[in-house]
Structure 1
Amino acid sequence: MPLSLEQGRQPPIFLYNYHMHTIQKTTSIIAVFVACLTVPLQAADWPNWMGPTLNGVSAESGWSTDWPQDGLPVRWSKEIGTGFSSVSIVDGLLYSMGHADGKETVWCLNADDGTVVWSHSYPAELNANLYEGGPGATPTIDGEYVYTLSVDGRLICLQRKTGKVVWEQNLQQELGVPLHEWGFNSSPLILGKQLILQGGRIVSFDKLSGKKLWQTDKHTAGYGAVRSFTHDGESLLASLDCDGLRISRSDDATEVAFTPWKSPFRTNSTTPIIYGNRIYISTGYNVGCGLFEFNGKALKEIYSNKQMRNHFNNSILLNGNLYGMDGNSNLGRVVTLTCMDFDTGDVKWKQRGLGCGSLMVADEKLLILSEKGELVVAKASGESFEELARSKFLTGRCWTVPVLLNGKVYGRNAAGRLVCVELPRN
C-alpha cells in the first residue's frame, strides 16, 4: 500500500540524415544537408515504484488524448492474484506480485502481450486487515536482478530473466519485529551497493549477497519507501514511519534529525518528497501534510495543514505544484484530487469524483486511475482541473498507481486483474 530531487525532462532525440552529392566535372563540391527529425519521446524502462527518477514523473510523449468514445481497447489482461503491488518494466519484461490460494507469486510477464516468462511462488500470509491484503510493495529492478518484498516480510533477490533465487531474507526474523498491522509494504530502494527499506527499522542489505550491513533501532513501522538525498556532500536517507519523519546517514544508520508525525491508526504509508533541502510528507485520517526544511542538523517546519491528507498513495510534484488525493479510502466519495502549491501549502483547486485513486504524471499531464477503475487524463496545471480524456479500464477496487510506458498503460485492481491498454499516437 502502499524523489529524485529534480523534476528533470529527458532531452529530445534527433535523427540526422546526411545527403552528399557532387556538382560539376572534375572539381567536386560536397554539400551536407542535415535534417532533424523529432521522434516521439519514450521512456524505455520503469524499473521501480515511482519510476526511474523516483518521483512518479515520466517525460514520455507522442501519445494522444483523442480516445475512442467506447473506451480504450484492452491489449491483454492477466490474473495475478490479490494485492496492491504496482508494475516495474525493464527490457520489455514486466514484474508484479499477487496472492492466491495461500501463496504469493512474483510474476515476470512479456510487457507486450502478457505471456508468462517465469513465476516464483511461496507460502505467504494474506494479511487481509480491513482490506483485501496481499503484497503492496512493488518489485525493484537493478541490473540483472529483481528485488521483491512479501506482505509478511520475505525479501528476495531473483535473477530477473530466469526467476532463479539468488538470496532471501525473512525480515520478521532478521529485524526482530512482528508482522505489522498492515504488513511489509516498503518498496526496496537501491543506493550503490545497498538495498534499503523500512519495516519496524530502517535496514540496509548488500544487494548482491543479502548480507545485512546495518539497521536502526526499532520504531513503529511505516509503509512507504525510503528516499536518498545529499546535503553538503553527505549521503542521507529520509523516511516516514508511524512515529515521524527521520533523517539518517546512509552509510551507518546514524539518526541525524527527527520530527514527530503520528497517525491515529498507525497508517503512515507515503514516501517523503524531497526537493533541494525541503522535505514534504502527508498522512490520512485528518492529520494532513507538512513541508520541512533540513539544515544539516534539524528539521524546521515551513507549514502544515489538513488540505492534503494522502491515505496511502503519494502526491506528485511537478513545476511547483503537488497533485494528490486528499482523504481516506473509507470515505472515498468525498476524497478530492487536490492541487497544492508546494512552497506555501495553499490549495489551488480540488476535484471530486475520482475516489481514493492514484496518479502519475507524463508529458505535463495527470494520468489518473480512479478508485472505481476509470482511466482519466487531465492537464497538469495549477489553474484548474481540465479533463482531456476518460476511458473504462478496470472494475473493482483500484488503489494501485498505473504506469504509462512506451505508449501503453498498465494497471491492476485489488482482486488481481492486470490490464494493458495501448494509447493512440499523435
Structure 2
Amino acid sequence: MDQADENRAESGRVPVTDEPSAEVAQTENVDVPGRPKGFRWWPAVAILGIATVVESILWWSMSENRPNQSVSMWLTTITVSFLLLMWWMFASRLRWRTRFVGLGVMILLGIAARYSVRVEEYSGAVFPILAFRWTPTAEEIAAEYREAHSESGQDEKSVPIEEVVPAEGDVTIFRGADRTGRIVDAGIRTNWDEQPPREIWRHPVGLGWSSFIVVDGLAFTQEQREENETVVCYNAETGDEIWAHTDSVRFSEVLGSDGPRATPTYFDGRLYTQGATGILNCLDARTGESIWATNILEDAGAKVLSWGMSGSPLVYDDVVVVNAGGDDAGLIAYHRLTGDRVWSAGNGPASYSSPRLANILGEQQLLIFNGNGLSGHDPTTGEELWNFPWTTGPKVNAVLPYPLDESRILISTGYGLGAALLEVKHEGDQWSAEQVWKSIRLKAKFNDFVVKDDYVYGLDEGVLTCLDLKTGKRVWKAGRYGYGQILLVDDLLLIITESGEVLLVKAEPKKSQPLARFQAIGGKTWNHATLVRGRLFVRNAREAACYDISK
C-alpha cells in the first residue's frame, strides 16, 4: 500500500483491506471471508437419490400397468434433468465460465442427438425404439424392394386365377375359423436345433399390423404403401405379389405407428377388409377388383379411434358385421354381396377387438367387446341381449372374448384391469352376465390368449402367464416375450415375441418349459402368426416371411 492510500485510509474516506473484492473473487475463484468455499456437489446427489427413491416407489406401485410405468419413468427423467440443470447453473459454485461451457456441451450433444438419431417407433411398453437418421426407414426399404422386384419381372400380376377355393387347414379368418387361435393335428416338428425351420421366402413389406390369412395357396394381408392403404395378395409358396388393391388414405399415429391394423376375412370368393380409417372393402379374391366399398365411420356418424380401426370383419349368412361405434349405429351389418345396410344397432363406443359368433345357452349370439364392455347380440337383428361393463381409462378392449362353453366367457385387457370369467344366464326373456372371478394376473393388452383344458395361457403385460380357469389364480409366470402373440398348436404354445422370435413352449400347468426357438423376422412384431399345414407365415411392419416347420 503506497503513502496516498495510507493517508486516505487514515482520513476514513476509503476502506482498506488486503483481501480481493467479491467480484474479483467470483472471477478468480478465490476465497472470500464469509463466502462458502468449493464445489457444491451434494445437491446433485440429493436430486438423484430422491429421484431414485420416488421412481422406485412409482415403479412398484404401477407394477400391474407397464405403460404407466414407462410414462412415470419419462416424467421423472425430464424432471431430474431440469433440476440438475438448475443446480449446475445456479448452485454448483463453479466458475461461471465452467458452467456456461458445460451448458454449451449439453446443448451441442442435444443438437447432435437431434440430427443423428430418430425415434423409429415405440414398443408395447411405450419405450422409444431409436435408429440412426442415415439408415433407411422400413418404408424406404419396402419401396425400393417393390421397385426392384417389379422391374425384374418376378411378380405374378399377369397370371390369371380362375377360382379361389379353401382347402382343409386353410385360415380364412383372423385367429382361425372359431377365432380361438387353436390348431389341431398341426404336424409340426419341434427339434429345431437339429432341424431348424426352413425359410421358404422373405421380403420387405409395407407398414401395418395386419396378419395373414391363407386360402388356396394365396396369402392376403394389408399394408401401408406411401400414401396408399393397400390390400395385397401374395403367392403363398413364393412370396411374389399377385395383385394389390389401393385406397388413397393413410392413418398416422405416433405410439402405434402408421398403417392398417385389421386382418382380411375370406368368404365365398370374396375378400372383406377394414382399413384403419374405416374403409370397408369387398374385393374379388381372384383379382382384387372392388365389388363394393363404404366407410363405416361415415355411415355411423363416428370418429376414427385413437389407434385406428382394428376390428377384422365378421361374415356369416348374408351379412358382414363391423363395430363402428356410432351413437345410433354401434354395430352395422351390411349385405355381403351388395354392401347395402341390413341393420344397425347399439350405441357403445367402438374399441379394437373383432366381432365373433358363439353358441350361448343353445342360441347363437354375436359377441362384441367394445369400449364399454362385453355384450351379446341377436345375430339376425343386432338387438343387444345382455351387457357386462368392463372398461379402462382409454376405453381399450382389444382382445377377443373367449367362450369356454355355452355359458362361460373369458375376457381380459391391459391398463391394470386384468381378466374376468363371466357366466351368462337366461331366465324367461331376460339375459344377464355375472362375474365368477376377476384376476389382475392376466392383463392381455392387445395380445390374444389361448385356452387348453382348465388353464389359460397369455402374455400378462409381456410376460407369459398361466391361470387356473376354475379360480383365476396364477399357476406360474415366466418368460418375458414382450407384446407378441400366441397360438395353441396341439399341446404347444407357439409364441411370436415382440422382437420377432418364434418359440415353442409346452402348454402345461406344471411350469413354463420352452422347447425350441429361432429368430424369424427382425423389428417390432405385433402381428399374429398364421400356421397352415406346417407352413408358418409371419410379418410385421418391416418384413414378411414363410417357414416350413412340418414334420
TM-score range normalised by the length of the shorter chain? 0.7 to 0.9
The reply on whether 1:323 has 2:457 as its aligned counterpart is yes
The reply on whether 1:120 has 2:227 as its aligned counterpart is no
Alpha-carbon separation, structure 2, partners of 1:280 and 1:232: 15
**C-alpha offsets along residues 99-157 of structure 1, whole Å, 9 cap, x if unaligned?**
02111111111111111121111112223241213111100011111100000000001
Higher strand share: 1
Q: Secondary structure at the match of 1:174?
A: helix
Counterpart of 1:199? 324
Deviates more, 1:347-356 or 1:89-98: 347-356
One-letter amino acid matched to 1:262: T
One-letter amino acid matched to 1:312: F
1:246 Cα deviation (Å)?
1.1
**C-alpha offsets along residues 338-390 of structure 1, whole Å, 9 cap, x if unaligned?**
11122321212111221111111112111100111111011111211111110
Counterpart of 1:261? 390
1:218 Cα deviation (Å)?
2.6
Q: Secondary structure at the match of 2:475?
A: strand
Q: Is the 8 A contact 2:256 2:307 kept in 1?
A: no
Counterpart of 2:42? none
1:305 Cα deviation (Å)?
1.4
The reply on whether 1:284 has 2:411 as its aligned counterpart is no
Which of structures 1 and 2 has the bigger CA Rg?
Answer: 2
The reply on whether 1:421 has 2:551 as its aligned counterpart is no
1:43 Cα deviation (Å)?
5.1
The reply on whether 1:274 has 2:403 as its aligned counterpart is yes
User: What is the aligned residue count?
Assistant: 377
Counterpart of 1:67? 192
Counterpart of 2:273? 148
Q: Is the 8 A contact 1:71 1:392 kept in 2?
A: no
Work out which of the residue numbers 400, 412, 418 in structure 1 matches 2:539.
412
The reply on whether 1:85 has 2:214 as its aligned counterpart is no
One-letter amino acid matched to 2:546: C
Counterpart of 2:439? 305
One-letter amino acid matched to 1:277: S
Compute the TM-score of the two structures, normalised by the length of structure 1: 0.85
Q: Is the 8 A contact 2:535 2:550 kept in 1?
A: no
Q: Secondary structure at the match of 2:260?
A: coil
One-letter amino acid matched to 1:120: H
Listed as ranges, the matches of 1:12-23 within 5 Å are: none
Q: Is the 8 A contact 1:187 1:225 kept in 2?
A: yes
1:199 Cα deviation (Å)?
2.7
One-letter amino acid matched to 1:80: V
Alpha-carbon separation, structure 2, partners of 1:95 and 1:121: 14
The reply on whether 1:53 has 2:178 as its aligned counterpart is yes
Counterpart of 1:403? 530
Counterpart of 1:36? none
Listed as ranges, the matches of 1:326-405 within 5 Å are: 326-327=460-461, 335-405=462-532
Q: Is the 8 A contact 1:124 1:150 kept in 2?
A: no
Q: Secondary structure at the match of 2:299?
A: helix
Summarize the Cα distance change of 1:268–1:419 in structure 2 as closer, same or farther, 3 Å threshold: same
Q: Is the 8 A contact 1:199 1:223 kept in 2?
A: no
Q: Secondary structure at the match of 1:291?
A: strand
Alpha-carbon separation, structure 1, partners of 2:480 and 2:419: 22
One-letter amino acid matched to 2:353: G
Alpha-carbon separation, structure 2, partners of 1:223 and 1:64: 34
Counterpart of 2:291? 166
Q: Is the 8 A contact 2:537 2:545 kept in 1?
A: yes
Deviates more, 1:63-72 or 1:416-425: 63-72
Alpha-carbon separation, structure 2, partners of 1:337 and 1:43: 31
Q: Is the 8 A contact 1:45 1:52 kept in 2?
A: no
Counterpart of 1:294? 424
Work out which of the residue numbers 340, 351, 355 in structure 2 matches 1:222.
351
**C-alpha offsets along residues 6-57 of structure 1, whole Å, 9 cap, x if unaligned?**
xxxxxxxxxxxxxxxxxxxxxxxxxxxxxxxxxxxx9520111111232100
Deviates more, 1:285-294 or 1:187-196: 187-196
The reply on whether 1:132 has 2:257 as its aligned counterpart is yes
Summarize the Cα distance change of 1:351–1:60 in structure 2 as closer, same or farther, 3 Å threshold: same
The reply on whether 1:104 has 2:229 as its aligned counterpart is yes
| Structure 1 gap ranges (5+) | 3-41, 328-334
Summarize the Cα distance change of 1:411–1:311 in structure 2 as closer, same or farther, 3 Å threshold: same
Alpha-carbon separation, structure 2, partners of 1:197 and 1:318: 29
One-letter amino acid matched to 1:144: G
Q: Is the 8 A contact 2:534 2:549 kept in 1?
A: yes
One-letter amino acid matched to 1:362: V
Alpha-carbon separation, structure 1, partners of 2:313 and 2:288: 18
1:418 Cα deviation (Å)?
0.9
Summarize the Cα distance change of 1:114–1:217 in structure 2 as closer, same or farther, 3 Å threshold: same
Compute the TM-score of the two structures, normalised by the length of structure 2: 0.66
Alpha-carbon separation, structure 1, partners of 2:361 and 2:201: 48
Alpha-carbon separation, structure 1, partners of 2:481 and 2:347: 37
1:74 Cα deviation (Å)?
2.4
Work out which of the residue numbers 188, 203, 210 in structure 1 matches 2:339.
210
1:235 Cα deviation (Å)?
2.8
One-letter amino acid matched to 2:512: F
One-letter amino acid matched to 1:93: L
Q: Is the 8 A contact 1:149 1:185 kept in 2?
A: yes
1:90 Cα deviation (Å)?
0.9
Q: Is the 8 A contact 1:322 1:341 kept in 2?
A: yes
1:320 Cα deviation (Å)?
2.1
Alpha-carbon separation, structure 1, partners of 2:264 and 2:173: 6
Identity %: 29
Q: Secondary structure at the match of 1:298?
A: strand
